Amino acid sequence: MWISLFMVNSFLISASTAYNFGGFLVGIRDNRKQIYIQALANGASHLWTGGNDRWREGSWYWDEGDVIYHTNWDKGEPNNDDSEDCLELRSEHSWTWNDESCGQNRPFICELHACHLPEHCVTTTCTNTYDYQCTKCQDQGSTVEHSLYWPNADRKVCEATCSWKENWCWPGTCVGHLAKNCVCSVDFYKSSSNPARCELLKKPHIETCRIGAESDRGEVGNSTSHGECQNEESTYINFQPKSMSFKLITAFETPKVCQRNRHTSRNIILV
């Protein structure tokens, strides 16, 4: 891995210059790299790195495209003061990180032959920037069944498995234990937000809710709602209630036999 210090330029020109040399603006992914970069500063008080959130405010990425996990922000940073979307180091602040306007001119460090680090990949190996392989994925265990992410055949992508959070592909089948291969059982569908989460096609819902009120003199007031009655907020009566009653009629379809069932509940609350 070759690292060189170049002339003073804006962030975009610096990034373009680094790319023309076959590299990227430097990414700092651990403390050891931070110390190494500081030693290359050669008297500079400010340095551009490859960090930026130019595409989405608050989402910081390195110039190579991978998410920034390790950070060394100065106190109160990043603050996005006057649209500051690019990451610099400042010697007068012990080389902590600061977000700065990308149009400012700074010295920069170009990282040559840096391996591309795809999403959810922890370490890579490469002969040049683009000929890379992921050697370890995030939370990768000894087998795919004991991993959260697993490398694909050419080791360029770390794929989600059916092992974590709500992504266990149940009820259904998960060929190769990879989330992309999840097939949900009948009466379930595959969630669009989770790669291996099966959800009911028809979920339980409230069909009817009835609210009743009774005064200490026997006066009665009732209201009935249908459909989205769980949003019922008020019932109007012109007496002081002694008790309130609530009756709910709910419905659901069981996944296997699709038999429609109804349940009612009644609660009395004294006020």
Q: Is residue 266 over pLDDT 60? A: no
Write out pLDDT tens, residues 83-120: 899 999 999 999 999 999 999 999 998 887 557 778 88
Does residue 160 or residue 251 have the better pLDDT? 160
Share of the chain above pLDDT 70, in %: 84
Of the candidates 212, 220, 221, the residue with the CA atom closest to the CA atom of residue 248: 212
CA distance 158 to 125: 14
Contacts for 187 with CB less than 8 Å, ≥ 6 apart = 200, 201, 202, 253, 255, 256, 258
Could you tell me the pLDDT band of residue 238, with boundaries at 50, 70 and 90? confident
Q: Is residue 256 over pLDDT 70? A: no
Q: What is the pLDDT of residue 129?
A: 57
What's the pTM value of the predicted model, to 2 decimals?
Answer: 0.44
Q: Is residue 263 over pLDDT 60? A: no
Q: What is the pLDDT of residue 264?
A: 42
Phi-psi region of 225 (alpha: psi -120 to 50; beta: other; left: phi over 0): beta
Does residue 75 or residue 237 have the better pLDDT? 75
CA distance 53 to 62: 9
Six-digit token pair at 255?
């996944």
The residue with tokens 């700074």 is: 106
